[in-house]
Amino acid sequence: DIACCNAGICKLAPFEEMTDQIRDQHINVNIKGVWNTCQATIKPMLKQRAGAIVIASSVTGDLVADAGEAAYAMTKAALVGLTKALAVEYADRNIRVNCSQLGYARTPMVEKMALESNPEHPEVPIQDIAAAVPMKRLAKPQEVGELFAFLGSDESSYLTGSQIVIDGGSTLPETMSMGTN
């Protein structure tokens, strides 16, 4: 069996203006949602002595961050720690736990953020993001799904505790120093 733990919200605000409510919403969805899914799926996997869990994190938090993303970055970085802790705890029982770290993908969350930042021309922020990616585009949801399928398959049977970055090259040191991010 495979469990895909994919939960996420991102509400941007300057840190000094971020309310307890916004922080707690991020914790409840981004951390607790994934935690609860992992906990619910571990039990049947233990009974069958096999399974794969794929946790959807982000490059934000562990690798990069932008202003206004404190709550999002904090919660997505926490998922990397959860991935590693669960991988160590369950490896000897044939349960693998890995983490995808996504850059930008053409998802409803990204489209909503683009609409909020430029209501009259929401394509402009998406084009700006794509221009900053070395591959000059956002990830397709299908590409992310294919990574999840691979991480849940027997073809990745020796991977556990891994962080797989899927960002079109955005976090490569060369692109960071050239100011493309």
Catalytic annotation, residues: 72
The SS3 of residue 68 is coil
Instruction: Name every residue whose Cβ is closer than 8 Å to that of residue 137 and which is 6 or more positions away in sequence.
Output: 130, 168
**To the nearest 10°, the Cα dihedral for 40, 42, 45, 47?**
-90
Residue type, 31: I
- Between vectors from CA 52 to CA 154 and to CA 49, what angle results, nearest 5°? 90
Distance (Å, rounded) from C-alpha 33 to C-alpha 25? 11
End-to-end CA distance of the chain: 37
C-alpha distances (whole Å) from 7 to each of 26, 35, 103 are: 10, 10, 15
Alpha carbon 160 to its chain's center: 16
- Nearest one of 48, 57, 83 to 167, comparing CA atoms: 57
Q: What SS3 state is found at 11?
A: coil
